[in-house]
Chains A and B, each alone.
Chain A
Amino acid sequence: QKEVEQDPGPLSVPEGAIVSLNCTYSNSAFQYFMWYRQYSRKGPELLMYTYSSGNKEDGRFTAQVDKSSKYISLFIRDSQPSDSATYLCAMSVDYQLIWGAGTKLIIKP
């Protein structure tokens, strides 16, 4: 079993929909949780960085961490075709960063 599980997708939704992307993890020691967005053939770009359980909002993006369930989510409101990309979750403990495999998201106009 991998330490971080993420459905590779692809996830295809119509423009304007609310998107929910998720990761589960097994190591309860993870302290920091991140979401990165990667466009095709480009470097990953940090979207959200959270520490505690709860929600963090930035524009159309909301990151949610549930440490009791070992589950993190990224919500995208009013999704746009430009949001089409691969979304990677990452988690850290003791200066090590563990990555999910990434979910490919397609927003259909």
Chain B
Amino acid sequence: DSGVTQTPKHLITATGQRVTLRCSPRSGDLSVYWYQQSLDQGLQFLIQYYNGEERAKGNILERFSAQQFPDLHSELNLSSLELGDSALYFCASSVADRVGGYTFGSGTRLTVV
């Protein structure tokens, strides 16, 4: 157990629907990062939050949004889902001053049918 908790582990939904993925960071970590991993794209950075505020944005679609709550857990909202959104979505956390020394959760596997 890495200390980063992601729920749910698996999600199957239909095109056009909206889903919410949840992440609880490791105790003491203030930064949360969301990544998408699909077979043909590798690991793609989506967005980072630090202590409740958006810190950096990567290749995140406008249909996707995220937030980090006062208790530091984070949610990634995916809407108007398309078949191409099927992927593994990972959350990672870190202490703020160590770029790259992330602890990853075990991911949410999203299948859009």
Q: Which residues of A contact B (CB under 8 A)?
A: 32, 34, 41-46, 49, 88, 90-92, 95-97, 99, 101-102
Contact = CB atoms under 8 A, between A and B. Distances in A.
Interface of B is mostly: strand
Contacts of B88: 41
B84 interface: no
B43 A88 contact: yes
Contacts of A92: 99-100
Interface residues of B, number: 20
A43 B100 contact: no
Contacts, number: 48
Contact of A32 (B55, B100, B103): B100
Contacts of B103: 46
Nearest to B109: A41
B109 A49 contact: no
A41 B45 CA distance: 18
Contacts of A49: 100-101
A92 B98 CA distance: 10
Interface of B: 2, 4, 42-43, 45, 55-56, 88, 90, 92, 99-107, 109
A44 B45 contact: no
B100 A44 contact: no
B7 to A, nearest CB: 14
A95 B56 contact: yes
Given A41-B88, A95-B56, A46 B42 contact: no
